[in-house]
Amino acid sequence: MATATYPIQVTYCGICSLPPEYCEFGGTTKKCEEWLEEKLPDMHSKLYSQEVLEQNMSALSVDAQKRAEKDSQKKAARAEAASAKLAETRATSKVLIKRIERNKRKYVTAVQGLEAFGLDIKKVAKDFGKKFATGSSVTKVPGGGEEITVQGDLSDDIFDYVVENYKDVPEDNLECIEDKKKKKADG
Amino acid sequence: MFKKDITPGAKSKVKSSVQRTIRSKVLEQYPLLEPYIEDILPKKEQLDLVKLPDRIALYALGTTPLFFQHMDDPLLPHLTLIHRYPRCFPTLRIDRGAIRFVLSGATLMTPGLTSPGGRLPNDPNDAEGRYGKKELEAGEVVVIEAEGKEHACMVGVLKVGTEEMKRVKKGQACEAGHYLGDGLWSLSLG
């Protein structure tokens, strides 16, 4: 490594994004190891051979080893909990496509909840605008959070578009509703 | 600085005159980068400035982050940059035991550097002179490597000069600026 030509090409772990040699300090060591074994068998054998593991262990005192062990277990548990939580919110959270009547025959369509699926709603809003050739913007919701507001009655089109283009969002979690509350208040 | 995940703010283009200033500042701070500056900061390319929370500015070239800066503090290199040009920055090494603390964002403590696994400038164990001969002063930017690892794991600003560290051997050594796996690391520039 010493006199390699610059810039050095560094490979990063596909799971935790750190250089593979630091995977052991992340919470997802197990997954990282599997990933490395599959993608870069050379490096895997270098980093995870018995010899290296033993050497790593012997560098620390017994006491410190125990503490490190405990710590890494805690970290792993936390990482697992976090990923489980993420999966759960993904499974349970709903995307609402609302058709809101604005002025008798005119409608706007509001889309809520896309951010739970790891989408950047600003970008999605831009895409909607491009796809449907209408105004599309991110607006703040009074209760906190943001939604995408698209001009025109596009609830069905948006439903199809989201199903088609954003595979992360399961179709069952999409819901179309018609919002009439506003009209009542007006009338 | 980046313990939490951060969301990038507005991205704007850097004026070419400002870009020249940045370039000369980089060279002044890290003279060892001189041979590679054309690869890192090409004269013709358009640099981007991304605003981050807490008055931090990140300079990026396309989608590669290069340097970040808090107000008018010294420019700190992003870790991906350090990984590509590892020998161009003043470097210290920590022992194995300290890695896990650094990676969870703790302030680096002196014993991690003074112990047998750690390396400071003029270290008797450092035969090839990798960690330099010059003692570093407080306030200097240092890259922190780890024992038995190839790549750097942190970059920060020294709180105490290295000479004093060797004398006192305790207390805080280096403020955690940017470490592997922090918010800045996982930030993606779209």
Question: What does the pLDDT look like over A116-168, one tens digit per residue?
Answer: 777 778 888 888 888 889 888 888 888 777 888 888 888 888 888 888 888 77
CB contact under 8 Å between A17 and B185, yes or no, is yes
- d(CA B60, nearest CA chain A) in Å: 17
Do A128 and A56 share a structural domain?
Answer: no
In whole angstroms, what is the distance from residue B105 CA to residue B5 CA?
12
Do A167 and A123 share a structural domain?
Answer: yes
Q: Any CB–CB contact under 8 A between A6 and chain B?
A: yes
* A·B CB contacts under 8 A: 64
Q: pLDDT tier at A2 (50, 70, 90 boundaries)?
A: very low
- d(CA B153, nearest CA chain A) in Å: 8
Structural domain of B80: 11-84
Do B146 and B130 share a structural domain?
Answer: yes
Do B94 and B80 share a structural domain?
Answer: no
Q: pLDDT tier at A54 (50, 70, 90 boundaries)?
A: low
Dihedral angle sign, alpha carbons of residues B110, B113, B114, B116 = positive
Residue B156 sits in a domain whose CATH number is: 3.10.400.20
Q: Which of B36, B100, B150 sits opposite A1 (nearest CB)?
A: B150
Q: Is residue A73 part of a domain?
A: yes
Q: Any CB–CB contact under 8 A between B171 and chain A?
A: no
pLDDT in tens, chain B (190 residues): 777 777 777 788 999 999 999 999 999 888 888 888 888 888 888 899 988 888 888 999 888 889 998 888 888 999 888 888 888 888 888 888 788 788 888 888 888 888 887 888 777 766 666 777 778 888 888 888 888 788 888 898 888 888 888 888 888 888 878 888 888 888 877 5
Do B75 and B47 share a structural domain?
Answer: yes
End-to-end CA distance of chain A: 75
Q: What are phi and psi of B157, to 5 degrees?
A: -110, 130
Q: Is residue A102 part of a domain?
A: yes
Do A157 and A102 share a structural domain?
Answer: yes
Q: Any CB–CB contact under 8 A between A7 and chain B?
A: yes
Do B39 and B53 share a structural domain?
Answer: yes
CB contact under 8 Å between A68 and B100, yes or no, is yes
Q: pLDDT tier at A185 (50, 70, 90 boundaries)?
A: very low
Residue A180 has pLDDT above 70, yes or no: no
Do B78 and B26 share a structural domain?
Answer: yes
Q: pLDDT tier at A110 (50, 70, 90 boundaries)?
A: confident
Q: Any CB–CB contact under 8 A between B181 and chain A?
A: yes
Given a contact cutoff of 8 angstroms between Cβ atoms, the answer to whether A80 and A88 are in contact is: no
Name the domain boundary from A47, A75, A91.
Answer: A91
In whole angstroms, what is the distance from residue B158 CA to residue B139 CA?
5
Cα dist. A2→A35, A113, A118, B87 in Å? 27, 50, 40, 8
Distance, C-alpha A17 to centroid of its chain:
14
Given a contact cutoff of 8 angstroms between Cβ atoms, the answer to whether B75 and B68 are in contact is: yes
Do A70 and A110 share a structural domain?
Answer: no
Q: How many CB atoms neighbour CB A184 within 10 A?
A: 8
Q: By three-state DSSP, how is residue B78 classified?
A: coil
Identity of residue A155: S
Q: By three-state DSSP, how is residue B155 classified?
A: strand
Do A102 and A82 share a structural domain?
Answer: no
- Residue partners of A54: CB distance under 8 A and separation at least 6: none
Q: What is the largest CA-CA distance in chain B?
A: 48
Do A128 and A84 share a structural domain?
Answer: no
Name the domain boundary from B84, B99, B130.
Answer: B84
Do B122 and B61 share a structural domain?
Answer: no
Q: CA angle A111-A168-A175, nearest 5°?
A: 35
Do B122 and B102 share a structural domain?
Answer: yes
Do B63 and B114 share a structural domain?
Answer: no
Q: Considering its fold, how many domains does chain B have in total?
A: 2
Residue A184 has pLDDT above 50, yes or no: no
Percent of chain A with pLDDT over 90: 1
Residues of B whose CB is below 8 A from A6: 36, 39, 84-85
Q: CA angle B71-B74-B75, nearest 5°?
A: 90
Do A97 and A180 share a structural domain?
Answer: yes
pLDDT value, residue B151:
85
Given a contact cutoff of 8 angstroms between Cβ atoms, the answer to whether A169 and A95 are in contact is: yes
Helix (H) or strand (E) holding B60: strand B56-61
Average pLDDT over residues A27-48: 79
Q: Considering its fold, how many domains does chain A have in total?
A: 2
Q: Any CB–CB contact under 8 A between B4 and chain A?
A: no
Name the domain boundary from B49, B84, B119.
Answer: B84
Q: Any CB–CB contact under 8 A between A86 and chain B?
A: no
CA nearest neighbour of A149 among A163, A166, A129, A174: A129
Average pLDDT over residues A90-101: 80
CB contact under 8 Å between B85 and A6, yes or no, is yes
Do A173 and A99 share a structural domain?
Answer: yes
Mean confidence (pLDDT) of chain A:
77
Q: Which of A1, A17, A59 sits opposite B186 (nearest CB)?
A: A17
- Residue partners of B8: CB distance under 8 A and separation at least 6: B50, B51, B52, B58, B187, B189
pLDDT value, residue A1:
42
Do B173 and B159 share a structural domain?
Answer: yes
Q: Any CB–CB contact under 8 A between B86 and chain A?
A: yes
Q: Is residue B187 part of a domain?
A: no
Structural domain of A155: 93-186
Name the domain boundary from A51, A66, A91.
Answer: A91
Do B67 and B106 share a structural domain?
Answer: no
Residue of B nearest to A12 (CA): B80
- d(CA A17, nearest CA chain B) in Å: 8
Q: Is residue B5 part of a domain?
A: no
- d(CA B128, nearest CA chain A) in Å: 11
* ipTM of model: 0.71
Task: Enter the DSSP assignment of B107.
Answer: P
Q: pLDDT tier at A6 (50, 70, 90 boundaries)?
A: low
Residue A42 has pLDDT above 60, yes or no: yes
Do A74 and A25 share a structural domain?
Answer: yes
Average pLDDT over residues A15-44: 78
Half-sphere exposure of A90 toward its Cβ, with a 13 Å CA cutoff?
13
Beta-ladder partners of B70: B56
- d(CA A77, nearest CA chain B) in Å: 15
Do B153 and B98 share a structural domain?
Answer: yes
Do A147 and A121 share a structural domain?
Answer: yes
CB contact under 8 Å between A68 and B36, yes or no, is no
CB contact under 8 Å between A71 and B96, yes or no, is no
CA nearest neighbour of B178 among B70, B90, B96, B87: B70
Residue A141 sits in a domain whose CATH number is: 3.30.780.10
